[in-house]
């Protein structure tokens, strides 16, 4: 099962700057949520942040290299007190954007036991990777991550745990072949 550390974030930056346009109704969900978290890192902030990653620490150095190809990281997460506070229709417009030819779903994991549904989408432009999106729905939690720029899906494992991005082990999950 994909383990997602909960991030609750609200982004102040103009949503138009993001690759995935977050629907306005997500703001309405904030009123029902017990915790909302938004992390916004545009290219300037990423550049600034990467200066604080150590070149000596192998993990940090690797992350620094990955960040060099990114244009932005946006995380928005909602945590609710009880199930049923949000509907699938609330994120329909996000899914619609991800179901266009530019995007391909590369990982999908659904757990009947916990009700968790995790999906990773990859955007390709002219044969090059242009972005990555993670959508995680749980009965009491909703997380949307948008990563803009050049990133290999395998690099997501290294990037997880930095900049508020949840840890997503795509290699492990795809390796088990739960859902492709």
Partner 1 sequence: MGKTSKMKATLILASVWMLSCVAMQGAERGFDDVVRAISEQFHTRPLHIPFFGLVSFAAAVAHPAGVKHLDLAVFQDLNLGDHWSRDLAQAIRMADGGWEPFVRVHRPAETVLVYITQERSDCKLLVVTVETGEVTVVELKLNPEAMQVWLQAPDAEAVRNVSR
Please select the residue that binds partner 1; options are 19, 38, 119, 148, rule is CB under 8 A.
Answer: 38
Q: Which of 2, 26, 37, 70 binds partner 1 (CB under 8 A)?
A: 37
- Interacting residues with partner 1 between 85 and 124 (CB under 8 A): none
What are the DSSP calls for 16-39, one per residue?
Answer: GGSSSPPPTHHHHHHHH-SEEEEE
**Among 2, 4, 11, 144, interactor with partner 1 by CB under 8 A:** 11
Longest dimension (CA), the chain: 46
Is the Cβ of residue 48 or residue 92 nearer to partner 1 in the bound state? 48
Q: Is 43 in the site for partner 1 (CB under 8 A)?
A: no
Q: Name the strand (E) or helix (H) holding 95.
A: helix 92-98
Strands (E), the chain: 35-42, 70-79, 103-110, 117-125, 128-138, 141-149
Q: Does 158 bind partner 1 (CB under 8 A)?
A: no
**Cα angle, residue 119 at apex, residues 92 and 73 outer, rounded to 5°:** 85
Task: Give the contacts of 62 (CB within 8 A, at least 6 positions apart).
Answer: 158
Judged by CB under 8 A, which stretch of 45-53, 88-96, 102-110, 124-132 contacts partner 1? 45-53
Of residues 20, 33, 132, 159, which one binds partner 1 by CB under 8 A? 33
Residue 30 interacts with partner 1 (CB under 8 A): yes or no:
yes
- H or E element at residue 44: helix 43-50
Instruction: Determine, following the binding rule CB under 8 A, whether residue 61 of this chain makes contact with partner 1.
Output: no
Identify which range of 11-19, 96-104, 107-115, 141-149 contacts partner 1 by CB under 8 A. Answer: 11-19
């Amino acid at each position: 099962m994909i383990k997602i550390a909960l991030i609750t974030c609200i982004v102040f930056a103009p949503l138009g700057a993001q690759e995935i346009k977050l629907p306005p109704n997500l703001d309405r969900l904030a009123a029902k949520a017990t915790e909302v978290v938004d992390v916004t890192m545009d290219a300037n902030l990423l550049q600034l942040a990467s200066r604080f990653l150590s070149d000596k620490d192998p993990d940090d150095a690797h992350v620094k290299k990955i960040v060099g190809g990114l244009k932005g990281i946006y995380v928005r997460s909602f945590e609710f007190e009880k199930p049923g506070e949000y509907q699938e229709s609330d994120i329909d417009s996000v899914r619609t954007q991800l179901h266009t030819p530019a995007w391909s779903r590369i990982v999908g994991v659904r757990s009947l036991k916990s009700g968790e549904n995790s999906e990773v989408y990859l955007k390709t432009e002219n044969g090059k990777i242009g972005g990555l999106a993670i959508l995680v729905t749980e009965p009491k939690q909703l997380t949307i991550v948008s990563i803009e720029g050049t990133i290999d899906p395998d690099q997501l494992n290294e990037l997880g745990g930095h900049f508020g991005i949840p840890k997503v082990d795509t290699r492990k999950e795809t390796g088990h072949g739960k859902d492709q």
